[in-house]
Chains A and B, each alone.
Chain A
Amino acid sequence: MAGLVAAAFVCVLILWAVVGAAVIAVWTRDSRRHRRFQAALARLNEWVSSGHPEDPTRGLDEKLGTFPPAFLLSCVADPSIPETSANVLSSWIASRWRRHLVRYAASTDPRQASRRVNALRVLSRADGDVVPLLERALQDGDAEVVSAAISLLGSTVDRRAAESLVGALRENRYQPSRIATALDRFPLPIPDLLRSLASDANPIARFWGATLLSRYGDAEGVADDMARLVRDPDPQVRKAAVETLGTVGGDNAAAAALGLLGDPVWYVRAHAARALGDLGLAELAPHVIGLLGDPQWWVRQAAKESLEKMGPGVWRDLVKCLDHPDAFARNGAAEVLQNLGILDSLIVLEASDDHPGADKIELLRKIAAAGGVRMTNALLERTDAELSQRIRALLDRIGLEAAGA
C-alpha cells in the first residue's frame, strides 16, 4: 500500500501543480488583456464624456488592434460599459473586422452561439444593415439566439424588423409575449402591421394584435377593429379587445364593454369591468356593481377595483348595494366605500356632531353590518386618539360595534 500511496502522491502533486500553474497562467494573461482593455476604455470614456472634437477611436488601433476580435466582442458585451463608449467601440470593431463579424453573425454552429450573438449586437450598434442577419438568427434552433434576435430586431429602426417580428408572432416561432414586448417598444409607428395581425385567422395572432393596438388608439380603423373583435368567437380575443378599448376609449368603448359584462366567460366579464374602470365613467357604476355578486371570485375582485377607479362619485349606487341579498355583494360594496374614504369621511363628520342625522346613522349601520366588526376596528385604529373616543362613543350609542357581517 505504501508504494501505491507514494506513486499516487507524486502523480497527484505534479498534476495539482501543473493544472494550478495553468490556471494562474491563464488568469495572468486574461488579467493583462483585461487591464489593457480597461485602460483603453477609460481613455475612450474620458474622450466621449469631454466631447473632444477629435475622433474618439483614434488610438484604439494601437491599444486594442492586436487583440483577437472574438475577445473584443466578449468585452463589448459587458453591460457595465457606458452606452456611448460601447457604441463607439462597436463602430470601431465593425469597421476593422466587418468580414469577421458578418461570418460570426451568420454562423449556425451551436457552440459558437455566444460569439454569434455578440457579433449581432456589435453590428446592430454599429448601424449596419443587420436585419437580414437577424432574420436568419430568428430561424435558429437555439432559443437564446432567437431571443437575442428578437430583442435586437425590436430596437432596430427599420420597418423590415417589425415585419419580421410580426411574421414570427404569426408563425408562433417563439414565446409570443417576448415578441410582443419587442413590438410594443418598437421605435417606429406600425399600426398597419398590427391591424393585419388583428385580422389574422389564428386567434393567438388576433389576441396579440388587439393587445398591441392599445398604443395606437388614434390610428385610423383601430376603433372599428376593436368593435369587431369584442364579438370574436375566441374569448381571449374578446378579453384583449375590451382591455384595449379601456385604454384607448372612444365613442363605442363604453357600449362594447357594457355588452361584455354578461359574457359567458368569466375573465371576459372581469376585463370588461376593468375597462369600464379605466374609462372612469362613474355613471356606469350600477352595471359594474351587479358584478359584486358574480359567482366567480376574480370577477368580484375586478368589479371592486373598477369601482375604486371610478372614484367617490359611485357612493350613492354603492349604498344601494348594502341591501343586496348576496353577502358577497354587501361585503364588496362596504370594502369599496372604505377604500374610497367615504366611510371615514362620514363617520368623522357624524362623530363630531352632537346630533347626528337619522339617515346618516342608518347608512353607517348598513356599512358596518356589511363590513363587519373588523372594518369598524380598522376605522378606529386609523383615527387619532381623541377622535377615536368620539367615534367609539358614536358606535356605542347606535350599537354598531356589535354588528356582524
Chain B
Amino acid sequence: MAAFLHSALWWSVLVAFVALLAIYAAVIVRSALLSGARRRNVIAADPAEQSALAASRFTIPVSVITSLEAERPIAIDVLRSLLALDYPQFEIIAVTDSSRGGALLELLKREFALAPRQMFYRRSLPGHDVHAIYGGPRDERLLVVDHVSSQPAGAWNCAVNLARYRYIGVVAPDRTVARDALLKAMTPANTDPASVVAILGHLGAPQAAAAVAATAGGDTRSAASGLLEGFDRLQRLRDEVSGVTAPADLGVTTVSPEAFGLWRRDAVIEAGGFAPAKAGEGLDLALRVQQATRQRNADCRILLMPDAGQCRPSETLRSSIARQARCYHAMLESAWRSRGQLAASTGRVSAVSAVAWHVLPGLLEGWLVVALPLSIVFGVLGWRLALAAAITVSLAKGVVTNAALLVQADADGGTGGGTGRANPVREICLGALEFAVHRPLAAAAAALGSYEFVTGRR
C-alpha cells in the first residue's frame, strides 16, 4: 500500500509538472497569436466624444441604487462620489435601516440637508414597508429611504420599486466610483438598449477606496494588500492578453459576488427581483434573468465588463482569501445551475475550452502546492529536487507574465499607454513569485469556496 501511494504521488507530481509547463507554453503561443488582433482594440477614447455623450439628452437615464449599512462613515464618500458622476441624467436611491441604529440616517440627513416626504410608488417587487423617504432640496437627484431590510436584496428591491428610470445601477455600500464609471458602464446599453438586459463587471483595483482612506487620514493599505493587488493585476493582464475569460468561453454567467451590476428594470421585475444568495445576489439574479429570457427565446444579452471604474475597498490577507472563496463558490454555483447549458451541444466545446484554459492550470498548481511538500515529507522526492521543481514552475509562470507584459507594451504602440507605464521590474519579479506566494492562498480560497458550495445551499 505504501509503495502504491509512493508511486502515485511520484507520478502525480510528474504529470502535473509536465502538464503545467505544456499549458503555460500553449498560453504564450495563444497570447502571441492574439497580439495582432489586440492592436486594433486599443483605440483611445476621444474626450470630445465622451463629453458629448455625457451631455447628450439621448443618453439613457439611470437609477443608481445602493444599500447603506449602519456604522459606515464611508457612506458619505460613496454618496458624494455618486453625486459627482459625469452622466446627463440619473437619480440615486440610497436605502438604510434606521432600526439598526439611526446614527447613519441622522448623519445623512445632516450632511445632505434631507427632509422627509411622502411618495406614492408602485410596488412591483414584494418586500417590507418603507418607513420614511427623504429627499434633498439641495440635490433633487438624491433620495434616502428608511426601510427595514436585513439583507441587501430587500433594500435593492425596495429601491427598484422607487426607481423612475429604465436602467438600474447597483452599487455596494463600501464602493466609491470614478466620475466616468456610469458613462463607461452604460456604453453597451446606450448602443443597444433593446437587447442589453444587464451589464455586469468585476471590480478594479482598490485605489479609489484607498484614496478615500488617504483623504480621511492616511492610506490604510498594508504591504500584503499591495502585494495581493499586484497579483490580481497580473492575473487580469494574463487573462486579457491570452483571451482566456471563463464567462465568455462558457457562455454562462459567472460573476463574482463583488461585481457591480447595471440592470434593465423590466428584466429585474420579470425575474422577481433580487433574492438573498450565498454566492451573491447579482449572480443569482443574472442566472434567473438568463433563464427567463432563454425561455422566452428573446434577444437579450447579459454583458460582462472587465472594469468600469468601480473599486473594492482595501483588503487584508484574510479578507482577500474570503473574497476569493466567495468568487470560487459563485463560479461553482453558476456552473451547477447552468449545467443544462453546459451539457448542450453548443456549450460542450466552449466548456472544455474554459476548463482547459482556466480551471485546469489552477487545479494543477494547487495540487503541486500540496504534493511537493508531501513528496519531501514521505521521501518521494529529495528537498533539492522538489525545490527545483517549484522554482521551475514559478519561473514558467513568470515567463507567461513576461510574455503578457511584452504583448501589452507592443499593443500600446510604443506610447507606454499614453501616459507612461511604470517600471516593469516589479511585475517581472512578482510574476516569478506568484506560484510560491499567491498560489497557496488561492488554493486555500478554492478549498474554502468548494467546502461552502458542497455544504451550503445550492
Query: Nearest A residue to B131 by beta-carbon distance?
Result: A374
Q: DSSP majority for the A interface?
A: helix
A369 to B191, CA, bound (A): 46
A271 to B216, CA, bound (A): 46
Binds A, one of B114-122, B204-212, B330-338: B114-122
**Do B398 and A23 touch (CB < 8 A)?**
no
- CB of A117 within 8 A of chain B? yes
Per-residue contact bits, chain A 104-123, to B (CB 8 Å; 1 contact, 0 not):
00000011111001100100
In the assembled complex, how far is the CB of residue B74 from the closest CB belonging to chain A, in whole angstroms?
Answer: 26
**Do B428 and A24 touch (CB < 8 A)?**
yes
Question: Are A184 and B399 also in contact (CB < 8 A) when A74-B414, A335-B119 are?
Answer: no
**Do A301 and B418 touch (CB < 8 A)?**
no
In the assembled complex, how far is the CB of residue B378 from the closest CB belonging to chain A, in whole angstroms?
Answer: 15
A8 to B59, CA, bound (A): 56
- CB of A283 within 8 A of chain B? no
In the assembled complex, how far is the CB of residue A244 from the closest CB belonging to chain B, in whole angstroms?
Answer: 12
Q: Which among B17, B52, B59, B415 has the highest number of chain A CB atoms within 10 Å? A: B415
In the assembled complex, how far is the CB of residue B436 from the closest CB belonging to chain A, in whole angstroms?
Answer: 14
**Do B39 and A114 touch (CB < 8 A)?**
yes
- CB of A297 within 8 A of chain B? yes
Question: Are A16 and B395 also in contact (CB < 8 A) when A111-B37, A111-B39 are?
Answer: yes
In the assembled complex, how far is the CB of residue B86 from the closest CB belonging to chain A, in whole angstroms?
Answer: 13
Question: Are A382 and B116 also in contact (CB < 8 A) when A78-B44, A178-B191 are?
Answer: yes
**Do A12 and B385 touch (CB < 8 A)?**
no
Per-residue contact bits, chain A 1-24, to B (CB 8 Å; 1 contact, 0 not):
110111011001101100110111
Chain B residues 398 to 421 lying within 8 A of chain A, measured CB to CB, are 398-399, 402-403, 405-406, 409-410, 412-416, 418-421
- CB of B48 within 8 A of chain A? yes
Number of interface residues of B (CB under 8 A): 68
In the assembled complex, how far is the CB of residue B264 from the closest CB belonging to chain A, in whole angstroms?
Answer: 15
Partner of A26, one of B119, B406, B419: B406
- CB of B102 within 8 A of chain A? no
A402 to B214, CA, bound (A): 51
- CB of A209 within 8 A of chain B? no
A377 to B116, CA, bound (A): 9
Query: Nearest B residue to A26 by beta-carbon distance?
Result: B409
- CB of A371 within 8 A of chain B? yes
Which residues of A are found within 8 Å of B49, using beta-carbon distances? 147-148, 151
Which residues of A are found within 8 Å of B419, using beta-carbon distances? 78, 80
**Do B118 and A30 touch (CB < 8 A)?**
no
- CB of B389 within 8 A of chain A? yes
**Do B413 and A114 touch (CB < 8 A)?**
yes
Partner of B420, one of A20, A34, A71, A335: A34
**Do B120 and A5 touch (CB < 8 A)?**
no
**Do B414 and A30 touch (CB < 8 A)?**
yes
**Do A71 and B414 touch (CB < 8 A)?**
yes
Interface residues in chain A, defined as those with a beta carbon under 8 Å from any beta carbon in chain B: 1-2, 4-6, 8-9, 12-13, 15-16, 19-20, 22-24, 26-27, 29-31, 33-34, 38, 70-71, 74-75, 77-80, 110-114, 117-118, 121, 142, 144, 147-148, 151, 154-155, 175, 177-178, 180-182, 184-185, 211, 297, 301, 328, 331-332, 334-335, 338-339, 371-372, 374-375, 377-378, 381-382
Which 10 A/B pairs are nearest by Cβ-Cβ distance?
A378-B116, A375-B118, A19-B402, A151-B49, A77-B44, A79-B47, A181-B56, A78-B418, A177-B58, A74-B415
13 residue pairs bridging A and B, Cβ less than 8 Å apart: A9-B388, A12-B396, A23-B406, A26-B410, A34-B415, A71-B413, A74-B413, A75-B415, A78-B419, A114-B413, A118-B44, A148-B43, A181-B58
